Structure 1
Amino acid sequence: MRHIARRGVVVCGVAGLLAPVTLALGAAPAQAASCTTRTGPYQKQVEKFLGRPVDGRQSAADCSAIRAFQSKHGITPTIGYAGPVTWGVMDLMNKQKAVGKKPNRSGKCPTNKGRIACVDLTLQLSWIQDGSRLVYGPVPVRTGRDGYETRTGLKKVYWRDLHHVSSLYNVPMPYSQFFDGGQAFHSVGLSMWNPPGSHGCVNMTTKDAKKYWSLLRKGDDVYVYGRKPGT
């Protein structure tokens, strides 16, 4: 079983960390493309999110602002179009912000387990709580894409590896804490809003992965629930 689990770890690690390479290879054509003059279906919503004048008409300044947002979060093609993917990321950010410091308002993550790491796939948020007391978070995370969904249910941290590297692909997975087969919390050098997602792992920023490493221990509970948008 240990061999199988480690094989799963390798697959997850590659999925989360090869994405920047793919994006880098595809970035040049997207960046070289002309800034679109087309008005997108979510023009007003995107303008409002970016603090632009909300007139529902694409301008050169609108396109520049949208392209900067797309470039920052790995949304392609980077042409400044206010389409469903760009708005979907912004809408998720708005929903995450609205949660504030009450991520378990619905009570879906168990409060009778002591210290537990919660993962809300619907909002792409994670946090650590002890009973009903919030210990850390909520923080944005990047979970499994369509076909590689992060599995739901109650799990436990069963293996921790601070400097984990995939033995098959030689891909680093810093601060790995595995809780379900090859699925783990670990840091990646990507925006947490970079679509479409990981191959099952719960990606985090380095800052948050370090904090999770310091707060969780082998045997601690992890609860994953909800459904990631687009899966």
Structure 2
Amino acid sequence: MRVRRVLSLLVVVALTGLLSGAAAGAGPTAQAAVAAAVGLLPSRVQEAVIAPAAPAPVAPAAAPEAAPEAAPVAPQQARQRVTSVRVAPVNVPGTPCTSNARACVDLSGDRAWLIEDGEIAYGPVPTTSGRPGFRTPPGTFPVTFHSRDHVSSIYDAPMPYSVFFNGGIAFHQGSLSQLSHGCIHLSRAAAREFFGSLERGDLVQVVP
């Protein structure tokens, strides 16, 4: 309340000084008039008026919010495992054998085929098989090895284009009018076809 009175007094004094100066022909500034008026005040009041006002406290700036961490991304599998599906072998139309066989022999029908992808690739071709006492055993056997100019060490007989699949039993070129000692006789052309088509590990199915 006291300060307001002082300030009002300063304004009155300043205006009075300005008016007086104007009447006398002088041009004092408002700042000079106020300074003159302040000089008339007691020293304690002068300090209160002259002292600069304390600056208003500035609120500290709020710290920037941290960006939310990205959710961890689950690692993806580089490769997907492919589960192999086993398909049961089926009968190959026109033969007594199944689709997992690469060569088929029908002992009772004296004929043979080559099979590929479940279908007949070659044949039927005529065959002869083992004589009594040397019957060709039925079953499924893998091809073990080839011998183009094979000669039997037991019977001292030539066995061209031999493809062995059950011990000493093989497809080979032989007589189609005489029974063998267990092997499957083929004509020369058929023996060459079997020799060139069958690979080691291929299955030979022999049906009674």
TM-score class, shorter:
0.5 to 0.7
- The answer for unaligned runs of 5 or more in structure 2 is 1-90
How far apart in 2 are the matches of 1:160 and 1:218? Answer: 8
Identity over aligned pairs, percent: 38
Q: 2:119 aligns with which of 114, 133, 139?
A: 133
- The answer for unaligned runs of 5 or more in structure 1 is 1-102, 227-231
> Within 5 Å, which residues of 2 pair with 1:113-132?
113=100, 116-132=102-118
> Within 5 Å, which residues of 2 pair with 1:103-182?
104-105=92-93, 108-111=96-99, 113=100, 116-182=102-168
Q: SS at the partner of 2:103?
A: strand
The Cα shift of 1:215 comes to 0.7
Instruction: State the match for 1:222 in structure 2.
Output: 204
Structure 1 residues 173 and 108: alpha-carbon distance in aligned structure 2, compared to 1, 3 A threshold: same
Structure 1 residues 104 and 123: alpha-carbon distance in aligned structure 2, compared to 1, 3 A threshold: farther
Alpha-carbon RMSD: 2.0
The Cα shift of 1:106 comes to 6.4
Instruction: State the match for 2:182 in structure 1.
Output: 200
Structure 1 residues 107 and 187: alpha-carbon distance in aligned structure 2, compared to 1, 3 A threshold: closer
How far apart in 2 are the matches of 1:152 and 1:161? Answer: 22
Bigger relative contact order, structure 1 or 2 (CA pairs below 8 A, ≥6 apart): 1
Structure 1 residues 207 and 109: alpha-carbon distance in aligned structure 2, compared to 1, 3 A threshold: same
How far apart in 2 are the matches of 1:171 and 1:142? Answer: 16
- Please state which structure has a larger fraction of its residues in helix: 1
How far apart in 1 are the matches of 2:98 and 2:143? Answer: 16
State which structure, 1 or 2, has the greater radius of gyration over its C-alpha atoms. 2
> Does the 8 Å contact 2:105/2:205 carry over to 1?
yes
The Cα shift of 1:207 comes to 0.7
Structure 1 residues 168 and 183: alpha-carbon distance in aligned structure 2, compared to 1, 3 A threshold: closer
How far apart in 1 are the matches of 2:199 and 2:150? Answer: 16
